[in-house]
Structure 1
Amino acid sequence: MTLISLDDELIAARASGTLSAPMRLLVDTHAVLKNDVAEAAFMSDVMSAAFLESLPAESMADNALDIALAAIDAIEAGAGEAAGTQSISRKAAAEAADSTFFELLNLPEPVRQRALEAGAQWRFAAPGVRRIELMREGNATAELLRIEPGHGSPSHTHDGKEFTLVLAGAFADGIGRYEKGDLCAVGEETTHRPIAEQGEICFALAVTDGSLKFTGALGAVQRFLGH
């Protein structure tokens, strides 16, 4: 496992529009937490825009305006649905006096917005760990994790890559320690067991492109069930 800053390849992929939606959420959120990432993303956007400006003009289809307006209408309709969901979630959370809802308000804007659009509904992931699935595209999934101090994930490896960005608190896994703004990446070769440190609740954005593979007795059960 490695403590990293986003590399130029990921930032360039974001600017070119080739990143998956979960990975783009990761980059955008990291940019909110780290000035150097924000500056690199801005410069990449500028360079991409300059490159597009240098390309020869392409003729547009006769119905290009109709297509653009229809796309805008679709986006606005989706925003309206999300706003309605958010409003309902706020009211329901307030009526239930759910303090975890208000914890979301302190998280970076890209993650906070997605969590609200998802209904701000925490689901059980493991003892002391809850999750909200934020988005999924192909094999890539982005989840918001809420990890109580002293709790975490069982020991596991991965079918693909996993990026974990700490939004609040800190966790350690015996290999490294990660606090707010830190990003770690693991691959199939790494076995680890992330555990939140004592004190503050750890919130993290996890983006994976494959499933977790548990070790030990839990891994035997997983294999028996065919997962």
Structure 2
Amino acid sequence: MYQGQFSSLDALVSGYVAGSLPKPVHVLMDAHLELSPDNRAIVGGLEVAAGDALEHIAPEAISGRDAALASIFASDPAPLSAGDAVRRCGTMPRALQDFVGHTADDIPWKTKMPGFREFDMDDVDGCHVSMFWIKPGRTVPAHTHDGMELSLIIQGAFSDERGRFGRGDISIADPSVDHRPTAENTVPCIGFAVTDAPLRLTGSLRQRLGDILSI
């Protein structure tokens, strides 16, 4: 449904400033900006620019002009340091904790395979939302996506064929991405995922079984 709309961080930022993102993606971006002060400053500047542009539009040319301005300026553009984010909410960014209803320490995980846990939530705005937990050093079986998958890392990190994704980073995967994410050996990799279609396992059967059964 959303394939192509969120193909880059720039596209996500544009949608965030415009207020056009589905609720779970907006929450993901709120959480990302709590953990990424540099991007928070950029978004704040874009919000101000958008507000300036709206100020020069005739009132009759836009329906609900005051509401649009209020939406644009709803977020405080002042940069939030990563240290401030940690002090305010610990591992889980405040926006994500409010949405999920749990802290990172009391999420009711369900084990999906050795070394991989998940907390599934209800679908919202056509998106499936979940939290995931990957054991240090664990490799997730190779897979691709029938649609779009956005993953925000809130603890630890994973690496795949595209590079490394650590705390505050967003992994953007679509049908062109076929990967085997591997968590780093230090701490569990915890993240928030938003998808609009199921994933599909790829790779050989032997590789899949090896990844699934590895401890």
TM-score (norm 2): 0.68
Paired amino acid for 1:172: S
The secondary structure found in structure 2 opposite 1:188 is: coil
Alignment pair present for 1:20 and 2:22: yes
Gaps of 5+ in 2: 1-6, 68-88, 209-215
Aligned ranges 1:32-181 → 2 under 5 Å: 32-58=34-60, 105-116=90-101, 120-134=107-121, 136-181=123-168
How many correspondences in the alignment?
173
> Which of the residues 3, 6, 9 maps onto 1:6?
9
Distance between the aligned counterparts of 1:48 and 1:174, measured in 2? 37
How many percent of aligned residue pairs carry the same amino acid? 31
TM-score (norm 1): 0.64
Distance between the aligned counterparts of 1:134 and 1:208, measured in 2? 12
CA contact (8 A) 1:120 1:132 kept: yes
User: What is residue 78 of structure 2 aligned with on the other side?
Assistant: none
The secondary structure found in structure 2 opposite 1:137 is: coil
Paired amino acid for 1:112: Q
> Aligned-pair distance for 1:135?
5.6
> Aligned-pair distance for 1:134?
4.9
> Aligned-pair distance for 1:18?
1.0
Gaps of 5+ in 1: 59-63, 69-103, 221-227
Distance between the aligned counterparts of 2:121 and 2:42, measured in 1? 25
The secondary structure found in structure 1 opposite 2:123 is: strand
CA contact (8 A) 1:11 1:44 kept: no
> Aligned-pair distance for 1:203?
1.0
Instruction: Say if 1:105 and 1:35 are closer, same or farther in 2 by CA, change over 3 A.
Output: closer
Paired amino acid for 1:46: V
Segment of structure 1 superposing worse, 24-33 or 114-123: 114-123
> Aligned-pair distance for 1:49?
2.5
Distance between the aligned counterparts of 1:50 and 1:125, measured in 2? 49
> Aligned-pair distance for 1:202?
0.9
CA contact (8 A) 1:135 1:141 kept: yes
